[in-house]
Structure 1
Amino acid sequence: MNKELMLALDLLEKEKQISRDVLFEAIENSLITACKNHFGKSDNVKVEINKETCDFEVYAEKEVVEEVEDPVLQISLEDARKIKAKYKLGDIVKVDIKSKEFGRIAAQNARNVITQKIREEERSVVYNIYYEKEHDIVTGIVQRYIGNNISIDLGKADAILAESEQVKGENLRPTERVKLYIVEVKNTSKGPRILVSRTHPELVKRLFESEVAEIQDGTVEIKSIAREAGSRTKIAVWSNNPNVDAVGACVGMNGARVNAIVEELRGEKIDVINWDENPGNLIQNALSPAKIVNVFADPDERTAKVVVPDYQLSLAIGKEGQNARLAARLTGYKIDIKSETQAKDAYGFRLEDYLDDEDYDEYDDYEEGEFEDAPTEEEE
């Protein structure tokens, strides 16, 4: 071992974040392994390394005997006293291993084992870095397509964006920077296998957490999220401070905050609604922008019947049922939506069951045509 090795260890510690102690341990083990391969045994072999100079000493501990039967484990009294005159039978003597052949073998073996250990430690360091980021977002650079999957450069490691985790219609090009959600980090013999996603609902949640200061400090909470990647997301938020508007904080001044997230998601629509502990109110919020006559929710069965004005039915259901589907996922309720006409025609329907005192005024306004200019699904 020499000065060059010491410099190499310093470099590895700084650049690869591999502990010098770990490397010294690998060197010691490699030298002991070399002894075993060369002499057939290594139980009595010891290695001492000067961690300041990287000089090392390899020696065998041998018992002083009158007649040597195993030269690997034993030494004669005569030979022992050549090392130190005070030795007597039964003593343990340190015998330096200085064979030229062993020196060559040891050097090669040490290089191989050290190289392997360095690779293992590098993989371990990288694994730990990204394991700590599991279920968080990272920024990566698109490298290339591998079949239908995409290889993403995360800086210290590559990640796989599987076809199932790609947004339909989103064309990612090589060298493009993109934000991703780390779904899972697996430790394999070839290094960490990092699986990332562009479709996971948590990606949207993490983007809001990074964009909205009120979420970061705990003033605003994200209570629920439902997503159909590339098309639309609904997110329910709650404020722990009555003076802070949760929806307003997430949308930002002139929509700046939510628009930044929409841009990152390549135009995906995002509905931010107020969370409400009352399931009826929550479902009504979740079905926005549709107007609702009333909601009858059954918390035990997790079902809800919703009545909407006739002209709002298509908006409440949404294109291909998307609005209702996302509302159901967001609230955790199975939602049955009917227009007033459909509800009236249903067996046993009574409008009074769906209206409370405050609703009658709104219903009267609807009957008088006040809501004629309300948005339709096409205008949404």
Structure 2
Amino acid sequence: MSTQLFDAIDYLAREKGIDKEILLEALEAALISAYKKNFKSATNVRVELNEETGKMAVFSRKNVVEEVEDHQQEISIQEAKEINPNYEIDDVVEVEVTPKDFGRIAAQAAKQVVTQRVREAERGVIFSEYSDREDDVMTGIIQRKDARYVYVHLGKIEAKLAEAEQMPTEEYNVHDRIKVYVTKVENTSKGPQIYISRSHPGLLKRLFEMEVPEIYDGIVEIKSVAREAGDRSKVSVYAPDPDIDPVGSCVGQKGQRVQAIVNELKGEKIDVVQWSDDPTVYVSNALSPSKVISVLVNEEEKATTVIVPDYQLSLAIGKRGQNARLAAKLTGWKIDIKSETEAREEGLLVEEDEAYSDNEESLFE
């Protein structure tokens, strides 16, 4: 066997980023398989490769026994000692059985097996590279699309953007460059599969981390994200340092930071609100941009009744209930919104001149 085969293995290892030992093991397996198939041998054999000379040798391996029952697997102690006097019972004798024309036959068999192993190793390399990108944002180029998927090229692999993960307000054109959120990476029988999304809340969170240095550095924390992709989202943020304005950090000077994210999401409206461990404050903030008069809290049911000025009722609820729905999803609290007039009629709102210091939970008893 010429050194060209070993040169080819060196080349594949460098170009494909595959461990050379994996390819050599594949080659050995291919040669053993070719020997057994073409020479109808059931003998246990070993292949020895010499990279320096480019040569190979096939050795038959037989167990040394007192009395031979299987001539293909065993050799008598007498025969073994003729080869080497030092052999004992249960030793393994290796005898070279390399056929003269084995190089040509082996090369043909090796090509198919090595190609298969190269493909498998490539898949392993790709999976290892992309498995670390789960829950991360990647930039890709749209290659094509059909009725079910948009196919996005992510460097070494093509990912499918399912219809359910697309933004309903977004148009996807071939050759467009887009950012996608990697939801899952799997190593399947067909190779690595990457599942991506444009509608996942994680995309919004990662975009803020990319755009706002204070979030990336851990100075500002994103506590929660509620999103109706393509339409509107709410993000709650918090800064442990009271001297830092978390909302202002995310919005940026003249709204530049949040606007960059809005542009990436093709005009999706984003409300950035301040997180609080006080549900009355947190729920009130979450209903931005509407004004809130009072928030009544039921801790046991994790529910709130929010009272807003009459003229703010529709704004607080939002179009098709969206603002209230997103606020509830953001805070994790049930939210029931009532107008000021309705609250007074139900006795939920005291007069302004009365002391408002009673426990708010009692209103639910």
TM-score relative to the length of structure 2: 0.88
User: What amino acid maps onto 2:286 in structure 1?
Assistant: A
Aligned-pair Cα RMSD in Å: 2.8
- Kept in 1, the 8 Å contact 2:223–2:237? The answer is yes
User: What amino acid maps onto 1:351 in structure 2?
Assistant: V
1:326 aligns with 2:326: yes
Rounded Cα–Cα distance in structure 2 between residues aligned with 1:275 and 1:65:
80
Partner of 2:155: 155
1:7 aligns with 2:7: yes
User: Once the 2 structures are TM-superposed, how far is the Cα of residue 279 of structure 1 from its aligned partner?
Assistant: 0.6
User: Once the 2 structures are TM-superposed, how far is the Cα of residue 204 of structure 1 from its aligned partner?
Assistant: 0.2
1:216 aligns with 2:224: no
Which stretch shows the higher mean deviation, 1-10 or 184-193? 1-10
User: Once the 2 structures are TM-superposed, how far is the Cα of residue 193 of structure 1 from its aligned partner?
Assistant: 1.5
- Kept in 2, the 8 Å contact 1:6–1:53? The answer is no
Partner of 1:262: 262
Rounded Cα–Cα distance in structure 1 between residues aligned with 2:188 and 2:331:
39
User: What amino acid maps onto 1:327 in structure 2?
Assistant: A
Per-residue deviation, residues 95-137 of structure 1 (Å, max 9, x unmatched)? 2232145443322221111111110111111112111111111
Residue 350 to residue 263, structure 1, CA distance change in 2 (3 Å): closer
The 5 A counterparts of 1:332-351 are 332-346=332-346, 348-351=347-350
User: Once the 2 structures are TM-superposed, how far is the Cα of residue 3 of structure 1 from its aligned partner?
Assistant: 3.0
The 5 A counterparts of 1:288-327 are 288-327=288-327
The SS at the match of 1:199 is coil
The 5 A counterparts of 1:124-203 are 124-203=124-203
- Kept in 1, the 8 Å contact 2:3–2:51? The answer is no
Residue 240 to residue 52, structure 1, CA distance change in 2 (3 Å): farther
User: Once the 2 structures are TM-superposed, how far is the Cα of residue 241 of structure 1 from its aligned partner?
Assistant: 2.0
The SS at the match of 1:351 is coil
Residue 327 to residue 89, structure 1, CA distance change in 2 (3 Å): closer
Rounded Cα–Cα distance in structure 2 between residues aligned with 1:255 and 1:42:
76
- Kept in 2, the 8 Å contact 1:291–1:309? The answer is yes
Residue 93 to residue 143, structure 1, CA distance change in 2 (3 Å): same
Partner of 1:98: 98
Per-residue deviation, residues 3-48 of structure 1 (Å, max 9, x unmatched)? 3223322222222111011111111222222233234455621122
- Kept in 1, the 8 Å contact 2:64–2:80? The answer is yes
Per-residue deviation, residues 158-180 of structure 1 (Å, max 9, x unmatched)? 10000111111211100110000
Rounded Cα–Cα distance in structure 2 between residues aligned with 1:202 and 1:88:
67
User: Once the 2 structures are TM-superposed, how far is the Cα of residue 55 of structure 1 from its aligned partner?
Assistant: 3.6
Rounded Cα–Cα distance in structure 1 between residues aligned with 2:355 and 2:25:
77
Partner of 2:362: none
User: What amino acid maps onto 1:242 in structure 2?
Assistant: P
User: Once the 2 structures are TM-superposed, how far is the Cα of residue 212 of structure 1 from its aligned partner?
Assistant: 1.2
Among all aligned residue pairs of Structure 1 and Structure 2, give the percentage whose two residues are the same amino acid.
51
The SS at the match of 1:106 is helix
User: Once the 2 structures are TM-superposed, how far is the Cα of residue 234 of structure 1 from its aligned partner?
Assistant: 0.3
Rounded Cα–Cα distance in structure 2 between residues aligned with 1:263 and 1:316:
25
Which stretch shows the higher mean deviation, 323-332 or 13-22? 13-22
Rounded Cα–Cα distance in structure 2 between residues aligned with 1:68 and 1:106:
31
User: What amino acid maps onto 1:56 in structure 2?
Assistant: M
Q: How many residues align?
A: 356
- Kept in 1, the 8 Å contact 2:137–2:181? The answer is yes
TM-score relative to the length of structure 1: 0.85
**Structure 1 regions of 5+ residues with no counterpart?**
359-380
- Kept in 2, the 8 Å contact 1:35–1:42? The answer is no
Rounded Cα–Cα distance in structure 2 between residues aligned with 1:39 and 1:69:
22
Rounded Cα–Cα distance in structure 2 between residues aligned with 1:172 and 1:17:
33
Residue 216 to residue 250, structure 1, CA distance change in 2 (3 Å): same
- Kept in 2, the 8 Å contact 1:304–1:336? The answer is yes
The 5 A counterparts of 1:59-138 are 59-62=59-62, 72-73=72-73, 92-138=92-138
**Structure 2 regions of 5+ residues with no counterpart?**
358-365
1:280 aligns with 2:280: yes
Which stretch shows the higher mean deviation, 260-269 or 42-51? 42-51
